[in-house]
Amino acid sequence: MQDKTLVCKDCGVEFIFSEAEQEFYAEKGFQNEPARCPSCRRARKQATNENRGERQYYTVNCSACGVETQVPFKPTGVRPVYCRDCYQKNQN
């Protein structure tokens, strides 16, 4: 193996895919070469991590006690939804 020059698909800048990186990719079983330069990979990863923090909550009434609660999933109405206290009681 030897260093390869690749072109980033996002910014079009050439970057080096080093011999060490190629060995790492091979060890992990990755079959494709990186399509993005290191700075675009970092930016993409950071954007993905920021989006994960934004969780949507839905307000519902507990099926057992009727108290209003929030859940991190959209209830479909097929299964009961419980507040934290009732859920924990049902788990024991």
Residues 54-82 pLDDT 10s: 778 899 999 999 999 999 899 998 999 99
pLDDT of residue 82: 93
- Give the separation between CA 7 and CA 35, rounded to whole angstroms: 7
> Model pTM?
0.53
The residue behind tokens 């954007």 is 47
Phi/psi for 28 (5° steps) reads -80, -10
Tell me what percent of the residues of the chain surpass a pLDDT of 90: 74
- Considering the chain, what is the average pLDDT of its residues? 91
Q: Quick one: which of 27, 40, 35, 38 has its CA closest to 7?
A: 35
DSSP 19: H
DSSP 52: H
Provide mean pLDDT across the span 40-52. 85
Across-strand partners of 4? Answer: 17
Each domain of the chain, given as residue ranges in start order, spans 4-52, 58-91
